[in-house]
Chain A
């Protein structure tokens, strides 16, 4: 097994994956961003400000909670990393605040973001408000409908939410539209990307900003778990938990969106059922046809409804640092109910995928300790839950 990489290589590659397949107009900004982030990330003043905000504003460290009743029900010792308790209700705030601080440091008055479930949009709007930046968020029209509460939250926080009607009107199209905006406004705008996707240095930078999740786990647990599980759309909560644990002997499991079942073609399992290609500036596993046209993903959870995955996950898969599985929409819904009834926690549909895998594999996980990254809370999914549960 090859080791995790502290930084991608000079060309932004994690092994065969990653890189910088971007329009020339953005290349200088990407080069600058890499230099600026590296400098900020080594600057005690920047780090101090970032960690101060994480502690006093976000409420970190988030608890590592032993889920006794769930454990009893499943016969598996389950620990929950409670990212749902972070300010704004998901891990996304770790990244949005870091990138917002960086934009501030670089003198860029405007930030833009894409969002699927709306959690990254809310986090970015929040960062913009607390740091005094202008903010616009691109969101697919379909997602605007299915995650309505988050749209209102962003608007109350002072962000403009711009609907994207192209393609399927979901996360992929929102990323594309945000990149088009950035090509036009790159000189005064920072693109606060929401996951470990996109051209270099985004996958590396976002992983560095999310690593706090796994770093806390290392400090909070007297004994490391046997298995660590996280859902994977672009994969920022997963890499944030996996990276510090990689190579420690903990088995890492990423759970992709199985949608209506891999066999139906309606899913978001880029690693499980995709092939390597180039999406949104990086070489990675993705859903595509023989002509290289990008296929639409499908998931009940807007945050996993994406036909690609962060390039570092493709690398983790390739070298065996993690393995990737999937659960269906139905299984994720059942997991929401399970966690609500046993622990009094309503998880986001995204995070429910990780819980669902543990529930499904309970027999083979018996007597093991399993750490689940509970990446977000489910308030935004209420309408869907009322309809489908």
Chain B
């Protein structure tokens, strides 16, 4: 399929259906779903979609498009710096959502907004979801919205055909796993390390126990994120879970690049390696 055909086909199915398709296709191909994260508006709002296009060509399955936020509590220094830079270059909320729309349209890949609770509720859950759906987003992830507070947004997302993603962490016990499963998110974002987003040399051995714990309760797809920055770590994640997310390593490449071309090349290189690591 060409990108255009993909985009046309995408419009026939709801966002949450497209997310589900991602996992069923990957399962048939015996690989994990690879979702790169990149902040919208890097290195500048105008050149941002081009970087997502480069990652699509290099083998990304879909995207987490970061809506830059002033106080990202779940993020480490690299993504914080990325957000600050994007905001200072003019990535307002509307501009960021427009970038997400362009990415979804150009690549035809399911794209999820990654954001924080305040921008969502400031606009209003319904209006925010309505705008996301209009832009062609497949779903959304809200870093500081545990399931306990997620119901109103979940309903707004459902009304707009969007998939809402919920989190579980190494510290989540059985009751929280059960409650998240009952809320039926599009996938479970399993936080693979303690702490905030960022690269880590060590891989937490406790991830396996978390994934097992989730599997015992539900067959909702599990996607690992936080602390996955090398192809080796990606391969381990792919062996454990249905998908994985890489963010900081990509944002760092953009921040360290000398310009748009350099950033696109650098991203494509890492995304290509990560996509290979996704094959089991």
Interface range for A: 35 or more
A20 at the interface (CB under 8 A from B): yes
A293 touches B69 (CB 8 A): yes
Once the chains are docked, how many angstroms separate the CA of A277 from the CA of B123? 10
Once the chains are docked, how many angstroms separate the CA of A291 from the CA of B169? 29
- A280, A293, A294 — most chain B CB neighbours (10 Å): A293
* Among candidates B71, B74, B171, B196, residue contacting A28 with C-beta atoms closer than 8 Å: B171
A288 touches B148 (CB 8 A): no
A281 at the interface (CB under 8 A from B): yes
Can you list 18 A-B pairs, Cβ within 8 angstroms, ordered by A? A20-B149, A23-B167, A23-B191, A24-B146, A26-B171, A27-B172, A28-B172, A29-B171, A166-B77, A179-B73, A180-B73, A180-B195, A184-B195, A185-B194, A279-B118, A288-B118, A292-B118, A294-B70
Chain A's nearest CB lies how many Å from the CB of B166? 8
A362 at the interface (CB under 8 A from B): no
B117 touches A186 (CB 8 A): no
Flag A171-209 by CB within 8 Å of B: 1 or 0 each. Answer: 010001001100111110000000000000000000000
A28 touches B173 (CB 8 A): yes
List chain A residues, Cβ under 8 A from B279. none
Chain B's nearest CB lies how many Å from the CB of A91? 27
B71 touches A279 (CB 8 A): yes
A residues with a Cβ closer than 8 A to B are: 11, 19-29, 166-167, 172, 176, 179-180, 183-187, 277-281, 283, 288, 290-294
Chain A's nearest CB lies how many Å from the CB of B80? 6
How many contacts A-B (CB < 8 Å)? 114
* Among candidates A24, A27, A278, residue contacting B118 with C-beta atoms closer than 8 Å: A278
List chain A residues, Cβ under 8 A from B167. 23-24
List chain A residues, Cβ under 8 A from B272. none
A292 touches B195 (CB 8 A): no
A176-B71 CB under 8 A given contacts A20-B149, A183-B196, A187-B171 = yes
B119 at the interface (CB under 8 A from A): yes
Flag B133-173 by CB within 8 Å of A: 1 or 0 each. Answer: 00000000001111011000000000000000001111111
B184 at the interface (CB under 8 A from A): no
List chain A residues, Cβ under 8 A from B131. none
| Interface residue tally for chain B (C-beta within 8 Å) | 39
B71 touches A277 (CB 8 A): no
List chain B residues, Cβ under 8 A from A26. 171
List chain A residues, Cβ under 8 A from B117. 21, 278
A180 touches B119 (CB 8 A): no
B255 at the interface (CB under 8 A from A): no
Chain A's nearest CB lies how many Å from the CB of B40? 13
List chain A residues, Cβ under 8 A from B194. 25, 183-187
Once the chains are docked, how many angstroms separate the CA of A172 from the CA of B70? 11
Once the chains are docked, how many angstroms separate the CA of A135 from the CA of B77? 22
A21-B171 CB under 8 A given contacts A279-B71, A293-B119 = no
List chain A residues, Cβ under 8 A from B22. none
A21 touches B149 (CB 8 A): yes
- 8 Å CB interface, B46-86 against A: 69-71, 73-74, 76-77, 80, 84
B120 at the interface (CB under 8 A from A): yes
A288-B122 CB under 8 A given contacts A24-B168, A180-B196, A184-B195 = yes
B93 at the interface (CB under 8 A from A): yes
- B76, B148, B176, B194 — most chain A CB neighbours (10 Å): B148
